Amino acid sequence: MSGQVSVAIVGRPNVGKSRLFNRLAGKRISIVHDRPGVTRDVVVADSPDGFALMDTGGIGMLPEMTPKEIQDATEDQAEFAIQAANLLLFVVDGREGLLPLDETLASKFRKMGKSPVLVVNKIDEPEKNYSSAEFGKLGFEHVVLVSAEHDHGIDLLSRLLLKLLPELPPLKEGDSGLRTRIAFIGRPNVGKSSLCNRLLNMERLIVSDVPGTTRETVELDLDYEVGEDQEPWKFRLFDTAGLKRRKRVDNSLDYFSAVRTKHAIEEVDIVFLVLDAREGVTKQDKILAGHVLEEGRALAILVNKWDLALEGFRKDPLPGYEDEKDFRKSYLKSIRKELFFLPDSPVCFVSAQTGHAIKDFLQMGRDLNTRLDKSISTSALNKLIGEMWEHRPPAKIKGKRFKVFYAVQVENRPFRIKLFCNREHKLGDPYRRYLEKGIHKKFGLAGCPLKFSLAGKEARYKEEKKS
């Protein structure tokens, strides 16, 4: 967002900031819910008009609404957005009227040298006698009545923003396309936000021991400096909410957070599945990894909190391990065993707390992104499949074996290979995995999902009859 004109949406809890944010952004990004305190981190999106929008958490939340440490961090994040923004949209509730907290916030913004646009929201039926006139006493020059829910007044507000904002700088040609999009996913409290903060060298995301602290999917641009003579590595980071087991998704907020996380997986190039080194691979981790593969995204594993695992090993060494290197080797072997269905995804042992191996896993992400664009030689592919068939023919089904006559790569991101075969329904899961593993190893596709499209004799005969 550096150098980009920005607008921050601020106000007390539950006045409709996130709904207004989604409306101005032109798509659903922030979670909208009647419960106060849903938005915690600053959520950033590019508006259709070219400026950056920042959605902030409610300022002045009561203690019973959310844990104090999270509320304090939420307000610190809002303070960051206020300071960084070129313009504030101060949102109030037109149905409730002017409250003391609104007046306190107005005074706060003035002391910070800000002159916000006052947005009186929830004017759903303009002909009704709302309390909007009360807000005149705040003394702001620009006041706009809107209904974010029903899209009333949004065009007027958008035109005013373009009038008040400084001239928008030209976008750097191709900048967004140059960024490798990476998402951090995992169970609650494994350290996803901590890893993002370590990369950004700032407390940009709220970190807490309270599971479920992150509810939104937060997008942030990272230009990672690697050396004086090298161009920075450009990434777009997606920090996601921790996904719970389906039986534990006990409210609509958990549900919407899960939906946002799944959408983030669909939008990125690379997914880092973050594990807690002290807990290892859980059933939920396997489910998450499987979902990433279904979406056709490249996948790597980050074993976070490795410093704590080693600290425990040093204090109380486990029997059967010669040293830390042997312990790590065994841990890696265990991960491979539990996540056997992955396409030989690379694994990196990291620590958000100490910064251990941060550059290593970013390099891993760059390598994966490059790998996704590989082209597989058709002749080499067919030779390999033939050799694999000779080495280990598939089991017979109803007296016949599955046989590939010809194979060709038809897509990237994800890799898709079309197999012209005798009977498409005869490719069982064990032999499918055997082929996938061989192709991954031969062509260096570790971490990249591979999908087969099968064309059997029946399908080809039907096509010939139709023609």
pLDDT in tens, 62-120: 655 555 666 666 677 778 778 878 899 999 999 888 999 999 999 989 998 889 999 99
Cα separation of 13 and 92, whole Å? 9
Q: Is 37 left (phi over 0), alpha (psi -120 to 50) or beta?
A: left
How much is the pLDDT for 373?
A: 94
Predicted model pTM: 0.64
If you average pLDDT over residues 253-280, what whole number do you get?
Answer: 75
Among the candidates 143, 164, 185, a domain finishes at 164
- Give the whole-number percent of the chain exceeding pLDDT 70: 78
pLDDT over 70 at 40, yes or no: no
Residues 290 and 194 in one domain: yes
Here the tokens at position 457 are: 């004799």
Query: Which of 33-42, 87-96, 375-384 has the lowest average pLDDT?
Result: 33-42
170 occurs within a structural domain: no
Residues 312 and 406 in one domain: no
| Residue 188 CB coordination number (10 Å) | 18
172 occurs within a structural domain: no
Task: Tell me the per-residue pLDDT of 190-226, one tens digit each, with 9 for 90 and over.
Answer: 888 788 888 877 543 333 333 333 445 567 788 888 8
CA angle, residues 387, 389, 393, in degrees to nearest 5: 145
Residues 114 and 224 in one domain: no
Q: Is 75 left (phi over 0), alpha (psi -120 to 50) or beta?
A: alpha
How much is the pLDDT for 34?
A: 42
How much is the pLDDT for 67?
A: 59
Here the tokens at position 407 are: 């194979």
How much is the pLDDT for 64?
A: 58
Of 351, 356, 343, 375, nearest to 271 by C-alpha is 343
Give the single-character DSSP code of 389. Answer: H
Here the tokens at position 244 are: 């719970």
CB-based burial label for 382 (10 Å; 0-12, 13-18, 19+) = middle
Looking at per-residue pLDDT, the higher value among 453 and 35 belongs to: 453
Looking at per-residue pLDDT, the higher value among 467 and 230 belongs to: 230
Cα separation of 104 and 109, whole Å? 9
Taken in order 438, 441, 442, 443, the sign of the CA dihedral is: positive
How much is the pLDDT for 48?
A: 85
57 occurs within a structural domain: yes
If you average pLDDT over residues 399-424, what whole number do you get?
Answer: 87
User: Under DSSP, is residue 176 helix (H, G, I), strand (E, B) or coil?
Assistant: helix
Q: Where are the alpha helices (DSSP H) in 239-377?
A: 252-267, 283-294, 306-315, 324-338, 358-371
255 occurs within a structural domain: yes
- Res. 255 pLDDT band, cuts 50 70 90: very low
Give the single-character DSSP code of 242. Answer: P
How much is the pLDDT for 93?
A: 92
Residues 361 and 424 in one domain: no
Among the candidates 371, 402, 424, a domain finishes at 371
Look up the CATH number of the domain holding residue 462: 3.30.300.20
Here the tokens at position 258 are: 């899960």
Residues 146 and 42 in one domain: yes
How much is the pLDDT for 186?
A: 86
Here the tokens at position 250 are: 């006990």
Task: Tell me the per-residue pLDDT of 139-166, one tens digit each, with 9 for 90 and over.
Answer: 999 999 999 999 899 999 999 999 998 8
Residues 275 and 213 in one domain: yes
460 occurs within a structural domain: yes
User: Under DSSP, is residue 177 helix (H, G, I), strand (E, B) or coil?
Assistant: helix
The number of folded domains in the chain is 3
Residue 299: domain span: 177-371
169 occurs within a structural domain: no
How much is the pLDDT for 337?
A: 95
Here the tokens at position 85 are: 């923004």
Q: Pairing state of beta strands 6-10 and 52-55?
A: parallel
How much is the pLDDT for 70?
A: 61
If you average pLDDT over residues 318-325, what whole number do you get?
Answer: 86
How much is the pLDDT for 390?
A: 92
How much is the pLDDT for 185?
A: 87
pLDDT over 70 at 229, yes or no: yes
Residues 232 and 337 in one domain: yes
If you average pLDDT over residues 444-452, what whole number do you get?
Answer: 94
Look up the CATH number of the domain holding residue 51: 3.40.50.300
Residues 384 and 366 in one domain: no
pLDDT over 50 at 438, yes or no: yes
User: Under DSSP, is residue 235 helix (H, G, I), strand (E, B) or coil?
Assistant: strand
Here the tokens at position 108 are: 């706060």
- Res. 276 pLDDT band, cuts 50 70 90: very high
How much is the pLDDT for 241?
A: 53
How much is the pLDDT for 2?
A: 41
Residues 313 and 450 in one domain: no
- Res. 463 pLDDT band, cuts 50 70 90: very low
Residues 418 and 387 in one domain: yes
Strand partners, 270: 182, 298
Looking at per-residue pLDDT, the higher value among 318 and 37 belongs to: 318
If you average pLDDT over residues 384-401, what whole number do you get?
Answer: 88
Contact assessment for residue 298 and residue 371, using Cβ atoms and an 8 Å cutoff: yes
Among the candidates 110, 143, 164, a domain finishes at 164
How much is the pLDDT for 207?
A: 33
Average pLDDT across the chain, whole number: 80
Residues 191 and 332 in one domain: yes
Residues 193 and 132 in one domain: no
How much is the pLDDT for 26?
A: 82
Cα separation of 224 and 347, whole Å? 21
pLDDT over 50 at 257, yes or no: no
311 occurs within a structural domain: yes
